[in-house]
Structure 1
Amino acid sequence: MTITQLKYVLAVAEHQNFTKAAEKTFVTQPTLSMQIQKLEEELDILIFDRSKKPIELTEVGNKLVEQARNIVNESERIQDIVDQQKGFIGGEFKLGVIPTIMPTLLPMFLNNFIKKYPKVKLKIEELHTEAIIERLKDGHLDAAIAATPLENESIKERVLYYEPFVGYIPSSHRLNQKKKIDIIDLDIDDMLLLEDGHCFKDGIINLCKTKKSYEEDHFQLESGSFETLIKLANEGLGMTLLPYLHTLDIKESEKNNLHYFNDPSPAREVSLIFNKSELKMQIIEALHSTIAGVVKGAITFQNVQIISPLTKIKSD
């Protein structure tokens, strides 16, 4: 039994296809098939049910894949230990970022990071939280930046910053004359929301402690873009909430529509999250220190109430 054979098994389990798995592991399909067959003969079991389309794991194959994933992770830890001992910060690093954080945070830290750590090859992908959790679990991401807490036993979280919610309230809205707003002022039914899958939307629903009713709406819209929500608010179709960093780049003519909350300001907790196996910790530490250092100067709020992306609210 070899680590390579186990990697081939994991690839086929993921793609449910020998040809695709061979492409992803950079070997020919006959080579991959032969190595898996050798492993099955050695163990005297069938890992895959090849009669199914797409290919499926057998019952024992499912158990073997879970153990194979642990073994492959531990084998990679050996190189990780050597790199840390040498003080080497480099190599490929796969980072996931949720969509409501990517456009504002990435420009703030990326240039600093690649200049400081030129040997790190960052591969950054925009993903929703659910996909991030799956990819961290499967080893297809090394770390991610997401709203927390996620309360997932397989994931560790290191807080980067707390980002307040800011109201975007056009002149025609009932709350526009209030200099500062309170949570009790909000009405979910005149709130423009992001589409399903965005944890920022879930945070707003938790903040308002209710669900949106569409019964009397003249239109229904859930957008993937804050810019779209701002334009619709400007047309008098409601208000929206924005993450604080997004407000820094807003048009000068629209800044009068920004309304901050009275203390404690509702905020989201943004963390660097990673698998509990803690691989590539030297790069994770470098990312954490770089991002936290940059954001520290941009967000000066102290008294905040953390709004969970799940269903619970906790205070800080």
Structure 2
Amino acid sequence: MTLQQLEYIVALDKTRHFVRAAEMCSVTQPTLSTMVQKLEDELGCPVFNRAVQPIEPTEAGKLIIQQAQIVLFNIRQLKENVVSQKNGLTGSLMLAMIPTVAPYLLPGFISVFRRDYPDIALQVTELRTETIIQKLHDAEIDMAILATPLDDPKILEVPLYYEKFIAYISPNEPIYNKEELTLAEMPTENLWILEEGHCLRNQVLNFCDHKVQTSTIEAGSIDTLVKIVDINEGYTVIPELHINFLSEEQKKNLRNIVRPEATREISMIIRQDYVREGLMNAVANSVKQLIPTHMLDERLKKFAIKL
């Protein structure tokens, strides 16, 4: 078994096509086919079902490919760590962010990170939490920034900052006349929320009444929620960093949530076997330049990340 063979089956799983996989690996199709067959012979089981089109992994093949991805992930870390020890931070970073963080962090992050770490090839993807966790388990990404805690023993969480939730209320709602809202005062109807699959939806429902009767339409973005409230009345809950996206007129519709204050923890997450400490600090240092100081985790303000 060779690393090349592992690369071939991972490429074949991604493309589900021998010719395209061979092109991805810069080898001929017969070479790739032969090497995959030799790996299957060595393992004593087929990795791919060739009787269907496009080809697909067998049940055993899915586990083999998953392990191959992890092996290649660790090999890439090893190589990049050695180079970084000699030449400073180099290599690549595959980073994911959830959709309710990306609009506020990602544009500035790309600019700051590329400026400060020009030798790191940055690739960022916007994904929902469930997908991020799976890709991290499968070693398809290096790290991610999302809301925590996750309570996943295979994942290490490093808190970056804490963000308040703010109520955004139509002037026609009775609670609009309050200067601030307690959780008990938040109505159980006319609440507009994100659609299924967004972690922010779950966070909102967790600090609201669990029996909340929400409006029938659920939006796909915070910006859409705000526009729905502007036109259709009701209210929604938005993260603190979205305030900068509002007009001065819209900011009049904001009310703080108190007793208790509703917040979310935003963290960088990695696999337990991740070893590139320098790259983690590069991400954290970039975030620190973009997030207001009062929101940053106190440990992040004072200390470098140590694995």
Q: TM-score range by the shorter chain?
A: 0.7 to 0.9
**Residues 139, 63 of structure 1: alpha-carbon distance in 2 compared, 3 angstrom cutoff:** closer
Cα deviation, residue 198, structure 1: 1.2
Equivalent residue number for residue 72 of structure 2: 72
Output the CA distance in 1 between the equivalents of 2:99 and 2:63: 34
Alignment of 1:77-156 (within 5 A): 77-86=77-86, 88-156=88-156
Give 1:60 deviation, angstroms. Answer: 4.4
Alignment of 1:216-227 (within 5 A): 220-227=216-223
Q: 1:94 offset after TM fit, Å?
A: 1.4
Secondary structure of 2:121 counterpart? strand
Match of 2:291, SS state, is: helix
Give the CA deviation at 1:234.
2.0
Tell me how far apart the structure 1 counterparts of residues 19 and 153 of structure 2 sit (CA, whole Å). Answer: 34
Q: Provide the secondary structure at the position in 1 that maps to 2:144.
A: strand
1:181 is paired with a residue whose SS is: strand
What is the CA distance between 1:201 and its match in structure 2? Answer: 1.0
Say if 2:276 is the partner of 1:280. yes
Correspondence list, 1:51-70, <5 A:
51-58=51-58, 60-70=60-70
TM-score by length of 2: 0.87
Write the letter of the residue equivalent to 1:143.
M
Aligned to 1:189: 189
Give the count of matched residue pairs: 298
Kindly indicate whether the alpha-carbon contact (under 8 Å) linking 1:156 and 1:274 is maintained by their aligned counterparts in 2.
Answer: yes
Deviation string for 1:41-99 (max 9, x for gaps)?
A: 34444332322444344454344334433432332232133134226212221111111
Provide the C-alpha distance between the structure 2 equivalents of 1:236 and 1:44, rounded to a whole number of angstroms: 62
Q: Mark the CA change 1:44 to 1:173 in structure 2 (over 3 Å): closer, same or farther.
A: closer
Q: Which of 261, 264, 268 is the matching residue for 2:264? A: 268
Structure 1 residue 208, shift from structure 2 partner: 1.1
Whole-Å separation in 1 of the counterparts to 2:174 and 2:25: 58
Structure 1: gaps of 5 or more residues = 303-316
Counterparts in 2 of 1:45 and 1:276: CA distance versus 1, 3 Å: same
Which blocks of at least 5 consecutive residues in structure 2 are unaligned? 299-307
Please say if residues 186 and 208 of structure 1, whose CA atoms lie closer than 8 Å, have aligned partners that are also in contact.
yes
Distance between the aligned counterparts of 2:140 and 2:23, measured in 1? 16
Which segment is superposed worse, 202-211 or 166-175? 202-211
Shift of 1:31: 2.4
Following the alignment from structure 1 to structure 2, what is the Cα–Cα distance between the partners of residues 75 and 235?
Answer: 53
- Paired with 2:263 and 2:39, the residues of 1 have a C-alpha distance of 51
Larger mean CA deviation between 109-118 and 95-104 belongs to 109-118
Cα deviation 1:195-240 (Å, max 9, x = unaligned): 21111111111111414436xx6xx211112222222212352101
Deviation at 1:157, TM superposition (A): 1.2
- Please tell me whether the aligned partners of residues 105 and 290 of structure 2 are also in contact (alpha carbons under 8 angstroms): no
- Amino acid aligned to 1:195: E
* Residue 243 in structure 1 maps to residue 239 in structure 2: yes
- CA root-mean-square deviation: 2.5
Please list the CA deviations of residues 152-204 of structure 1 after superposition, one character each: whole Å capped at 9, or x if unmatched: 22222111101000011121111111111111112342111112111111111
Give the distance between the partners of 1:158 and 1:151, measured in 2 at CA.
13
* Structure 1 range deviating more: 115-124 or 230-239: 230-239
